[in-house]
Structure 1
Amino acid sequence: MADEQADNGLASLNKVERAAILLMTLGEQDAAEILRHMGPKEVQRVGTAMAELASVNQTQVEAVVAQFLEEVGGQTGMGLGSDQYIRNMLTQALGNDKAGALIDRILLGGNTTGLDSLKWMEARQVADLIRHEHPQIQAIVVSYLDSDQSAEILSNFDEKVRLDIVMRVAALEAVQPAALQELNDILERQFSGKAGAQTTSMGGVKVAASIVNYVDSTMANELLEQIKEIDDDLGTQIQDLMFVFDNLVDVDDRGIQSLLREVSTDLLVVALKGADPQVQEKIFKNMSKRAAELLRDDLDAKGPVKVSEVETAQKEILTIARRLADAGEIVLGGGGEAML
């Protein structure tokens, strides 16, 4: 069986890539129906795999479909999630025209509330939508959305507004259901969908830290300094809750090994070019001797890399680490004295 998989090229594809190939062989309606029931992080992973698949031969496609049919044979159903966040991912993977039709099918079949509709918009669009709203409304919206999207939204505001929003997010603990419903209803008049968000607990120092963690490193450092000037204790709390690349040394060996299984060698090489030696050694010790030697050789052979490229690679790995942490597969230690 292993030889057969190697012959048909299946062994060279990981599970996410196989899922991406399978979806791309389906018609838009069927693919949309499947994606509609997947969680945002799952869809992002599959979409990224779609975008990164340079070429797939017919033999591989047939092998993926055959394996799928074999694995689901005899099953009567599959458990699926419900969260949605795929607009950016599908646009990157399929282009504006193809993604547009697929997204429309998903949205028409979904149960998207007013606030949830913002998850489908570009960060700049959301920023423009709330730009003239009261700062507290801006803070509620930023608290409600995923931290990576909120970080992009913040980058579209000037320095003073960013600081005010983050301070309000950190101080936010709960929102009255009636107030949240009113905000939802306002957005419902601009987007289609049904009201019904009941979440009242949001924001707080942890959410603020998570958002700052995703913004550009230079901007993050400036924000932390400004927050500390206003409230040193709050700034320290936010900084202590942030998880940066250097903090990987605090993750246990099993966690690092789980992380490495999800990270490509090319991405790891770029990320480690600007990493602290302790982080590099942490990675090396959790690889086989041969793999560690090859990675060291790749690092030595790699020429100069732009700081921006290193930061991007490190953020991608941190995103994977957070996903694994959310799934309970690894535990991330807190605290970081410096942003990369």
Structure 2
Amino acid sequence: MAARLAAKKPGVDDARRLTGPEKAAVILLALGEDHTSLWQALDEDEIKEISQAMASLGSVQASVVEELMVEFVSGMSGAGSLMGSYDQTQRLLAAFMPSERVEALMEEIRGPAGRTMWDKLGNVNEAVLANYLKNEYPQTVAVVLSKVKSEHASRVLTALPEDFALECVQRMLRMEPVQREILDKIEQTLRTEFMSNLARTSKRDSHEAMAEIFNSFDRQTEARFLGALEERNREAAERIRALMFVFEDLGKLDPGGIQTLLRAVEKDQLALALKGSSETLRELFFSNMSERASKIMREDMEAMGPVRLKDVDSAQMTMVQAAKDLAAKGEIMLVGQGGDDELIY
């Protein structure tokens, strides 16, 4: 019945006529299933109210959606209050869970991924971990580095002051089996002193979250929203643009990164993506293929003939997402638009 009523409702052509829940419903519908995390900031009554508004919304004109999205981004930029936070989540959980369970759960959410403390440490950036460990006793550092993966331990040692790192290496060479109670004490210290501080300082800026949303737009929608936002809030638009990782940024990958990405992307998607790329980026990818493979790829692209812009956008977004997935696994390193010093791990 709700579907029949929604079908009869006239199209929404004026954002000013919408209620708060209806505006929220439009935003959440526009963002779709990829950004359902926004619902986590709502309590049960709010979810129910917005869901009811969504079910009976009817059709909404594109101009209204655009106006509300720009209003949403501007509101986030001003106060960040629309995205929810760890504190809000913690308060909601505390209403029905024991405080110690809430603390443990929030640590899991905030901290790096991993089931054990050593798994978590393996996912902490080596510079961050080294900055903490350089103030610890060399014997403690030796124990910690002996418990994480060897490749990660090597990167941490490189980031430590050289004399201190050599002392830690000597301790590791002479190390005997560590008593369980000492290991437990080190784990507890890491959890309370390091991981909790890391969690408190790792909350995401609202512009970072919005940059990810904008990255998911097709090229025309992205340009439209950024242009409209620029008219209202130039600073916010510039920050979002700087944080976005776009297809052309793949040109900043090193040769090893490009070759890793080439192995991860289907050949038809690669051809379609390169068909719409700049000549410079296209040649960069060809130069990292064998002569035979690049020749076949060029022939495949020529045989395509004209292609639709939305298909090219989709293929390029697939490559960008593949690059992000590889970066998250530590297989490649991405350099964003913010400058050559700014690394995304």
Q: TM-score range by the shorter chain?
A: 0.3 to 0.5
Q: TM-score, normalised by structure 1?
A: 0.48
Larger radius of gyration: 2
Q: TM-score, normalised by structure 2?
A: 0.47
